[in-house]
Amino acid sequence: PAVEYGCEAPFEVEYHDSIASTNDRARELAASGASDVVVLADEQTGGRGRLERAWSSPPGGVWLSVVCRPDLSPARATLVTMAMSAAACAAVRETGVDAAIKWPNDLLVPDDAYARGGRKLAGILTEMEGEAGRVAWVIPGLGLNANVPADALPDDATSLLVELGEAVERRVLVQRILERFDALRGDPEATREAWRAHAATLDTRVRVTLPEETVVGEAVDVTDAGALVVDTGREERVVHAGDCEHLR
């Protein structure tokens, strides 16, 4: 492999120098019955974001997907995404970069010059399949701009390399992310606490764009289904999905 990754967390790691999408490969593995497998790539040629958006994945990043089979109802599968974002955020902070989670699950490096609250360092795409009211499998896919140079990043994005001025050891970073993720994933209360501790969105004025309306107010909490609680001044709205901007 172009990069050696080691991992002592209880995951088997399948490594690719280049692959279309680690989530696609993880879905194949899930369909054939695999569990606790990590697909990790140096480069993706067809990386996907949410809502069929493209995710730019040049060499040097951390592009990984985990096949999990938690004992959860589909409505609470968001806990897995929250565990991954909290784990990634904690590991990033250990490199010295002051990242925070923007609801639902982006990692941002705060930057006052950006109306949306900061520059995007990472994103998570979670896919799942339910079966008889339970989760059959869930795949959190993490895209983290680790050693990606500025000229390979989209506008409004940043990387650990850009922030630190030097490359990080991806092997260590991945191991820390997976160990934390493993510790959090079976524990809803710890997951929510860790998410809250790393959240940029709480106690912030936000504008959340929903398909039919826009909700503006103070973000006051996150539920353990991952929904954002927004105090509009007149009522508390529980928002399940949408694009969120931080307002000043």
Per the rule left: phi > 0, alpha: psi between -120 and 50, beta: everything else, 92 is: alpha
Angle (deg, nearest 10), helices 188-197 and 170-185:
130
- Least distance to ligand BTX from the beta carbon of 39, Å? 8
Task: Select 62 or 184, whichever has its Cβ closest to ligand BTX.
Answer: 62
- Least distance to ligand BTX from the beta carbon of 235, Å? 27
From 2, 154, 171, 187, residue interacting with ligand BTX (rule: CB under 6 A): 154
Q: What is the 3-state secondary structure (H, E, C) of the chain?
A: CCCCCCCCCCCEEEEEEEECCHHHHHHHHHHCCCCCEEEEEEEECCCECHHHCECCCCCCCEEEEEEECCCCCHHHCHHHHHHHHHHHHHHHHHCCCCCEEECCCEEEEECCCCCCCEEEEEEEEEEEEEECCEEEEEEEEEEECCCCCHHHCCCCECCHHHHHCCCCCHHHHHHHHHHHHHHHHCCHHHHHHHHHHCECCCCEEEEEECCCCEEEEEEEEECCCCCEEEECCCCEEEECCCEEEEEC
From 117, 118, 143, 226, residue interacting with ligand BTX (rule: CB under 6 A): 143
Task: Select 57 or 147, whichever has its Cβ closest to ligand BTX.
Answer: 57
φ, ψ of residue 8 in degrees (nearest 5): -100, -5
- Least distance to ligand BTX from the beta carbon of 71, Å? 24
Task: Select 21 or 191, whichever has its Cβ closest to ligand BTX.
Answer: 21
**Candidate ranges 42-50, 186-194, 211-219, 230-238; the one touching ligand BTX (CB under 6 A):** 42-50
Q: Is 117 in the site for ligand BTX (CB under 6 A)?
A: no
Q: How far apart are CA 155 and CA 152, in angstroms?
A: 10
- Least distance to ligand BTX from the beta carbon of 80, Å? 14
Looking at residues 46 to 105 of the shown chain, list those that interact with ligand BTX (rule: CB under 6 A). Answer: 47-51, 53, 55-57, 63-65
From 78, 85, 145, 175, residue interacting with ligand BTX (rule: CB under 6 A): 145
From 84, 125, 208, 230, residue interacting with ligand BTX (rule: CB under 6 A): 125
Q: Is 23 in the site for ligand BTX (CB under 6 A)?
A: yes
Q: Is 157 in the site for ligand BTX (CB under 6 A)?
A: yes
- Least distance to ligand BTX from the beta carbon of 54, Å? 6
**Number of shown-chain residues binding ligand BTX (CB under 6 A):** 26
- Least distance to ligand BTX from the beta carbon of 67, Å? 12
The residue whose two tokens read 């060499």 is 59
Contact residues toward ligand BTX (CB under 6 A) are 21-23, 44, 47-51, 53, 55-57, 63-65, 120, 123-125, 141-143, 145, 154, 157
